[in-house]
């Protein structure tokens, strides 16, 4: 099974980044930036699980070596570059936020989210770099998921049983969030202090919901589900309504427990619809070239945008619209430079190193999948 390039998914990624950026630019009370992160998570799970499924279908194996090589060459160069630039800027700026080696280490070894939650660090990273918490969750997830999925495939479990296992894990995450909120009384008023918001053990299901779609009913992999195909528009509209409902309800206990599950469920029919209608007029707007470009460079923009916003706010007159536009342009230019000078050469080098027997798509699909 070879997966064809699916341009609308780039557009969805751009939309996710747009939510995050606008929220951080000053409209966080009106624009759900957290939903943008949840969409990033879902998209990551859907894309990467689809690629693994395709590789297994075509070759009968999954090269974990190649998988982790792609992760390293895709994730690490932009991350380390942004980390170096922001730390140097913080060191020589006035006033300095006193970046610590512990803070830097927490990013290098992917435990920043837990270090922040356990108060192990304070002002240990340059202002704006705290967005890496979501990257920590993804990397923790992919340290285990490929092995679990490979074990499931080797045991020849049916799609139904595989989906049941994944759904059970999603249910366990929901139960754990209830325990955290009602038994351990995790803080509800600050995302950086809320275990249910930024801890891997409480948020991994936001990625796993994407894997559920990739395995259970995936038009991208050629799955045909009659009732879904006939009513995909109806279900997608229902997903949008459920997504809106999940945002409208502001009760804090709900927001840190059931909200993430409802959003995961809501995204299932929406992504199904987009994958089933890649060339339809309904999804054509997602393939608008500027939107697709934004999706391609969104990873580096995500890493850098909040630092740029914070820096501009400190050194310039605090005018939200001007600062937001300037930050968007600067982060976009920076991301394009990184794409041309670091990401593309890294990807070419990875192809030379990776096992030549791999059957995974190596052009546009991997550019959008390996966030």
Lowest mean pLDDT among 27-31, 145-149, 304-308, 345-349: 345-349
pLDDT of res. 365: 39
* Residue 278's pLDDT band (cuts 50, 70, 90): confident
The per-residue pLDDT for range 238-252, each reduced to its tens digit, is 999 999 999 999 999
pLDDT of res. 187: 86
pLDDT of res. 315: 83
Structure token digits, residue 247: 């945002």
Average confidence (pLDDT) over 152-180: 97
The span from the CA of 42 to the CA of 40, in Å, is 6
Lowest mean pLDDT among 80-89, 173-182, 206-215, 352-361: 352-361
The span from the CA of 162 to the CA of 178, in Å, is 25
pLDDT of res. 318: 73
Res 359 pLDDT > 60: no
pLDDT of res. 53: 97
Average confidence (pLDDT) over 102-124: 86
The span from the CA of 174 to the CA of 259, in Å, is 9
Structure token digits, residue 194: 């809320």
The span from the CA of 53 to the CA of 58, in Å, is 9
Bigger pLDDT: 313 vs 329: 329
The per-residue pLDDT for range 35-56, each reduced to its tens digit, is 999 999 999 999 999 999 999 9
- H-only helix segments in 183-296: 195-198, 200-203, 205-216, 226-230, 232-248, 252-255, 258-276, 289-296
pLDDT of res. 352: 79
Lowest mean pLDDT among 126-135, 181-190, 249-258: 181-190
* Residue 118's pLDDT band (cuts 50, 70, 90): confident
The alpha carbon dihedral of 297, 51, 150, 16 has a sign of positive
Res 361 pLDDT > 80: no
CA distances from 144 to 102, 128, 139, 155, 169 (A): 25, 29, 9, 17, 13
pLDDT of res. 362: 42
Most confident of 169-173, 228-232, 282-286: 169-173
Most confident of 138-147, 181-190, 278-287: 138-147
On average, the pLDDT of the chain sits at 91
Res 75 pLDDT > 60: yes
Is residue 343 helix, strand or coil?
Answer: helix
* Residue 78's pLDDT band (cuts 50, 70, 90): very high
pLDDT of res. 355: 53
Half-sphere exposure of 15 (CA within 13 A, CB side): 14
pLDDT of res. 269: 97
Average confidence (pLDDT) over 342-356: 80
Bigger pLDDT: 257 vs 93: 257
Is residue 157 helix, strand or coil?
Answer: coil
Q: Give the rounded percent of residues in the chain with a pLDDT score beyond 70.
A: 92
């Amino acid at each position: 099974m070879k997966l064809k390039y699916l341009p609308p998914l780039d557009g969805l990624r751009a939309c996710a980044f747009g939510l995050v950026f606008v929220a951080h630019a000053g409209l966080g009370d009106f624009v759900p930036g957290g939903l943008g992160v949840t969409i990033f998570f879902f998209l990551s799970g859907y894309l990467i699980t689809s690629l693994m499924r395709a590789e297994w279908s075509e070759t009968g194996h999954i090269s974990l070596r190649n998988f982790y090589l792609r992760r390293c060459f895709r994730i690490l160069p932009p991350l380390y570059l942004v980390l170096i630039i922001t730390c140097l800027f913080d060191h020589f700026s006035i006033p300095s936020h006193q970046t610590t080696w512990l803070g830097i280490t927490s990013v290098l070894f992917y435990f920043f989210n837990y270090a922040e939650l356990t108060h192990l660090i304070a002002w240990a990273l340059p202002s704006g770099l705290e967005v890496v918490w979501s990257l920590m969750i993804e990397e923790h997830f992919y340290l285990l998921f490929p092995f679990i999925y490979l074990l499931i495939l080797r045991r020849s479990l049916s799609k139904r049983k595989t989906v049941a296992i994944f759904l059970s894990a999603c249910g366990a995450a929901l139960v754990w969030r209830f325990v955290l909120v009602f038994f351990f009384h995790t803080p509800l008023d600050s995302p950086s202090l809320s275990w249910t918001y930024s801890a891997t053990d409480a948020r991994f299901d936001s990625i796993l919901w994407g894997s559920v779609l990739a395995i259970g009913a995936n038009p991208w992999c050629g799955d045909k589900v009659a009732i879904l195909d006939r009513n995909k528009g109806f279900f997608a509209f229902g997903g949008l309504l459920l997504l809106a409902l999940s945002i409208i309800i502001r009760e804090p206990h709900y927001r840190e427990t059931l909200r993430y599950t409802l959003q995961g469920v809501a995204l299932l029919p929406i992504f199904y619809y987009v994958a089933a209608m890649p060339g339809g007029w309904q999804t054509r707007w997602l393939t608008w070239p500027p939107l697709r470009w934004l999706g391609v460079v969104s990873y580096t923009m995500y890493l850098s945008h909040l630092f740029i916003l914070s820096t501009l706010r400190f050194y310039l007159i605090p005018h939200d619209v001007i600062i937001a536009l300037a930050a968007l342009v600067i982060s976009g230019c920076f991301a394009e430079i990184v794409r041309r000078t670091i990401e593309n050469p890294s990807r070419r080098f990875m192809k030379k190193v990776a096992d030549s027997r791999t059957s995974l798509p190596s052009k546009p699909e991997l550019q959008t999948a390996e966030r």
